[in-house]
Structure 1
Amino acid sequence: MATEVLVPTLGESITEATLGEWLKQPGDKVAADEPIASLETDKVSVEVPSPVAGIMGQHAVKVGDTVEVGAMLATVEAGDGAAAAAPAPQPAATESAKSAVPAGGDQPAPAAGGYGNHGATPIDSDAPAALSPSVRRAMLEHGVDPATVKGTGRDGRITKEDVATAASSRPAAAPAAPVAPATPSVAASTGRKEERVRMTRLRQTIAKRLKEAQNTAAMLTTFNDVDMTAVIEARAKYKDLFEKKHGVRLGFMGFFVKAATMALKDIPSVNASIEGDEIVYHDYADISVAVSSPGGLVVPVIRDAQDLSVAGIEKTIGDYGKRAKEGTLKMDEMKGGTFTISNGGVFGSLMSTPIINPPQSAVLGLHRIEDRPVVVNGQIVVRPMMYLALSYDHRLIDGREAVTFLVALKNAIEDPTRILIDL
């Protein structure tokens, strides 16, 4: 008897998703609650578990297809696989091999769904364990064949560290590669090459939301700079004790998030949003922190940041950053948010005009710290300076309020004691 595997409920207001990859192939043995497929939603990747134990049946949809909540993805046949596995794999493998040639051609096969490797079946039933979405992306980035990687994770699963290790060990065999192009000189003379890769649902959503923000909000950016001397000295003095006590490194984001919550309290319109013809003011600060993931920028939310200490903020950010790279952030962790902080400085950005994250009305952009000459008490001195950029919806926030917010933030960072005594 076959059991249907349906697209699960994906979260509030999310009605559809894209099939990112199949973690199990027809004929594979599956356990109850074992992930058999990965779905890409507007925000995160979601693994779909098998409702029962048995043998993986036929796939009802292809990688890259859009599916709605409640739609059938596949079937799971009853049984332990001892008898059914013998006849099933050969016809299934033959059918997949036949369909692979017209569907993918020579090169587009991996690009069509964004997850394949070098063949029609990205990972077969002989693999030690199914690959998570983040590991799959890492393999694509490094060009690593999963069959050559030994998994060190739980139940023999391949981790991103395993992929990185396999990629770093390849250069020993690389010198032989240049010999091959020497014979077919035609390949070198064919000219420029192009590759077309389908946009992930996350990237499509990012593009759509950012463009909507530009089309809807009356966006304006105001700049200021901040002397980072005091924060750098405090961090250097206490970072070891801080890490020993709290188990997390002391960074700059903890100071900025805490200072921002204080400034938002003083300038509530920066923490507000527009809904129809009403302004919604929030008496709490849910700070969205932009972090990078293999699939693009994601913005998890630090709930009630105004009530957290610098240590609590750093722990939350560290956890979000780690799980963003692993692709294990939950949808609830990225919903809501009243104000966003984006740190382009970690990538070397000197200055930028960040785009607000609707329905929020403002976003703070942090940039790299750079030694610059400044005048202090009539003397030219060299100080570590950072540019701050506040992009805001001018329909709600006036220039005076934007400047006042930045000045309040600047004062708190240049004199961290203000954070301690709430000044």
Structure 2
Amino acid sequence: MIQWIALASLLAWLYLAVGHGFFWRTDQRLPARRAPSVWPSVAIIIPARDEADVLPVTLPTLLTQDYPGPARLILVDDGSTDGTTEVARALADEAAKRGGSNVTAAVTASTEPPPGWTGKLWALRRGVDCAGDAEFLLLTDADIAHDPGSLTSLVASACTQDLDMVSQMAVLRAETVWERLIVPAFVYFFAMLYPFRWSNRPNSRVAAAAGGCSLVRREALLAAGGLAEVRGAVIDDVAIARIIKRSGGRTWLGLAEQVHSRRPYPRLADLWKMVSRSAYAQLRHSPLLLLGTVLGMTLVFVVPVAATIAGLAAGDATVAIVGAVAWLIMTLSYLPMIRYYRQPLAGALLLPAVAALYCGMTVDSARLKRAGRGAAWKGRTYADHGAPTATAARPATIVEPPRDPWNDGVSRPVATAVPEPSGPLDEAEAGHA
């Protein structure tokens, strides 16, 4: 029986290594691109909920993009209580005084989401409404920093390859011991679940995206039904990619080089919460899928180590060799991700232990869901379809009604410092002036 289980694990790894979209490779980077003849207008939309601490690190990187065309940045305050709006406005004013960028900035407020909507998607919808007729929407998170040429590269790739959605998995922070151990595996498991190559094929049913950096063609999003189509999705990035691809749009997902997450997860508890808040939602809250996931991860990641040790201890060379070969394939498949995150290569040997941790996080996610605390984020807890549950607790706050952000008093660069935008943004800019 042990031999058969070890052999099943080895066969699983042979399939994963060569038949599962080469998910373990890290060569899916922004596709070939060239500058378009006319740079399209872009609206950068950032939903922010209690992000005052991280905005001084990330927001200036977007306000100083070297994008050649017209670009608006719209930060939507999603009911923050820590002064997020004030911090964002101050940073926007500072960037406007310095000048040197085509990016204009505005800060507006969302309201509490109606039943059926998650807070983030409701805030994103507010941002899309404010974006007007911008050709592209860059959906990004408040904790994401962008290198100066990030937006230019994204738009050039979309235009060159005729893509309706270009998404990059941001380089996550991997500085503390726990971050170095768990973060590379997080991206590795995501790629295993959604092989990037398969997701990037127009005729494939696999569709995925990374919410920290997704450039979306506005018309394609509207043709797919808009954000209302995914209003209750907890894993909103994947949901948006699915509806765009389902409606005939072309999507692309890869690993980033110019986009970095600055959110720290210094303790195991922080990383555990990050994974467990949505892991069960990834399994559609299905106990059967949960059981299959735990058994599958045990077979794939734990059995090779157990078989190697048990075979050596019992003097069973067949079991030991089969287990060792499966473990070797597993380790080799993890090395590209370890290198991508610039971690010691020996860390690849720890993947089975990290996988066991992820199993625990996934089971805990199901436990939290049964306790009515699933998919919790900054004071909001969501039921199956996005409606805030009665258990969500947060200090009362008055959220100003949505206003036109271009008349909210946020400064813009002076005309002498920034080339005058042209095209569909002219009317809005003239109104603001």
> Which TM-score bucket, shorter chain as reference?
under 0.3
| TM-score under structure 2 length normalisation | 0.23
Comparing both structures, which one devotes a greater share of its residues to helix? 2
Bigger Cα Rg:
1
State the TM-score, normalized to the length of structure 1. Answer: 0.23
Structure 1 or 2: larger strand share? 1
